[in-house]
Amino acid sequence: MENLPELKQFFKDKTILVTGGTGSIGEQIVSSLLSYQPKKIVIFSKDDSKQYLMKQKYLTYKNLFFLLGDIRDYDSIEYATRGTDFVFHVAALKQVPICEENPFEAVKTNIIGSENVIRACIFNNVKKVVNVSTDKAVNPTNTMGATKFISEKMFTNANTKLNNKETVFCSVRFGNVINSRGSVIPLFMKQAKDGKPLTVTDPGMTRFIMSISNAANLTLKSIYFSRGGETFIFKMKAIRILTLAEVIQSHYANKGVTNLTVQVVGSRPGEKLFEELIYDHEVNHVVENDELYVILPQKGKDILPFRSCPSPMIRSDKLEFLSKDDILKMIETLEDTW
């Protein structure tokens, strides 16, 4: 994904808040932002252990500040947004099985927490806010997807409601982010290293996939392009989960890990066989460039440099899949970063 030269001027000398900034994606966003010389980046999260580790990693950066708090607590997020230009809202409960088992907690974080972020940003006249969402918000079959669907609606609606006169809100939809915490590739690689069966829930399952650096860059570009109410989607590749497991099985067998098996364990509650990027009713409001689809709000303004898009590719089972060679290269690259 190419960098926009305009981003340097856009972020330079700005004060930026990243909720969930100690998570995989949040930290990558922080790392990407540092190259644009912002005045200040505030990393807001509720995990003191992750904050400690991240502080040690970025000790030389004097424009990073860490703030312990929870988006469920309005007062703490209201304090965090004071004097802020841009907010990247990444904090969420993202694990499908955990949200399925704890729907009340998922609602508190993903819906009520998001409302707190919205209200705090409007109250403090934040310029722009981007909400990190997921393809699971499209035709959701699980609690996590349903809560993210609602949060997307809130971020679109916030552009014209709650007496909002200044703050621009938008969302981004991600697929599976390679090497993010809890994602399938690190799970399979750990299972293989430990000599355990690679657990595939359904042999027909497909997913959209993107690198963590592309996820961060998409988010930075989205907040730059947004005029209010859009949903930005990276044009991703698709992958068969069974093929992924087979490539990892073969790769580790060549490293001497013998007797590895692929075990089909059955779909988990709320799990879909394929993912979708865009609702049917959104298709007529989609524009694109070479990297992104953008769903415009029904009363939204066109955004340059995007063009009309009559037939977006919206299902993970309808795309050309990554080849085994491509998957192997991806695995080898990931191993180099571990």
Q: Please give the average per-residue pLDDT across 268-289, as a whole number.
A: 91
Domain containing 63: what range?
6-175+211-236+276-314
Q: Output the CA–CA distances (angstroms, integers) from residue 182 to 96, 176, 188, 266, in the order listed.
A: 10, 10, 11, 18
Buried b / exposed e across 197-225, counting CB within 10 Å, b at 16+? bbbbebeebbbbbbbbebbbbbbbbbbbb
Asked whether 52 and 68 are in contact (CB, 8 A), the reply is no
Tell me, yes or no, whether 251 lies in a domain.
no
Cα of 119 vs its chain's centroid, Å = 22
pLDDT in tens, 125-170: 999 999 999 999 999 999 999 999 999 999 999 999 999 989 999 9
pLDDT of residue 302: 67
| Residues sharing a CB contact under 8 Å with residue 141, sequence separation 6 or more, in sequence order | 270, 271, 272
Band (338; pLDDT cuts 50, 70, 90): low
pTM of the model: 0.93
| 97: confidence class by pLDDT, cuts 50, 70, 90 | very high
More confident: 42 or 308: 42
Residue tagged active-site, from 136, 221, 235, 272:
136
Report pLDDT for 336.
Answer: 63
CATH code for the domain of 308: 3.40.50.720
Could you read off the pLDDT of 1-25 as tens digits, one per residue? 567 889 999 999 999 999 999 999 9
Question: Left if phi > 0, otherwise alpha if psi is -120 to 50, otherwise beta: which for 71?
Answer: alpha
pLDDT tens-digit series, residues 287-321? 999 999 999 987 656 676 899 898 888 899 998 89
% of the chain exceeding 90 in pLDDT:
80
| Mean pLDDT across 278-294 | 92
The answer to whether position 120 is within a domain reads: yes
Query: What is the mean predicted confidence (pLDDT) over 222-242?
Result: 95
Is the peptide bond between 305 and the residue preceding it cis, with omega within 30 degrees of 0? yes
DSSP tally for the chain: helices H, then strands E: 12, 15
- Flag whether 148 is in a domain: yes
What token pair was written down for 239?
A: 């992958």
- Per mean pLDDT, which range of 27-31, 51-55, 175-179, 207-211 is the poorest? 175-179
Using CA atoms, how far apart are residues 42 and 279, in angstroms rounded to an integer?
34
Residue 205 belongs to a domain: no
Work out how many domains the chain is built from and give that number. 1
β partners of residue 237? 209
> In this structure, what token pair is assigned to residue 312?
């977006």
Q: Which residue has the tokens 């988990």?
A: 268
* pLDDT bracket for residue 102 (50, 70, 90): very high
- Residue 235 appears among annotated catalytic residues: no
The per-residue DSSP string of 79-100 comes to HHTTT-SEEEE------HHHHH
pLDDT digits (tens, 9 = 90+) for 172-216: 999 998 878 778 888 999 999 999 999 999 999 999 999 999 999
For residue 17, the surrounding DSSP H or E stretch is: strand 15-19
| Residue at 330 is within a domain | no
- Laid out side by side, the sheet with 307-308 consists of 64-68, 40-45, 15-19, 86-89, 128-134, 168-174, 231-234, 292-295, 286-288, 307-308
Residue 200, pLDDT score: 95
Tell me, what's the pLDDT at 73? Answer: 99
Is residue 147 a contact partner of residue 104, using CB atoms and an 8 Å limit? Answer: no
* Residue 38 falls inside a structural domain: yes
- What does DSSP say about strands 286-288 and 292-295: parallel, antiparallel, or unpaired? antiparallel
The answer as to whether 29 is a domain residue is yes
Whose tokens are 């809560």? That residue is 147
| Ranges 109-113, 306-310, 320-324, most confident | 109-113
Q: Taking all residues of the chain, what is their mean pLDDT, rounded to a whole number?
A: 93
In a domain, 132, yes or no: yes
Cα 138 to Cα 28, 177, 279: the distances in Å are 25, 17, 6
The whole-angstrom separation of Cα 110 and Cα 106 is 6
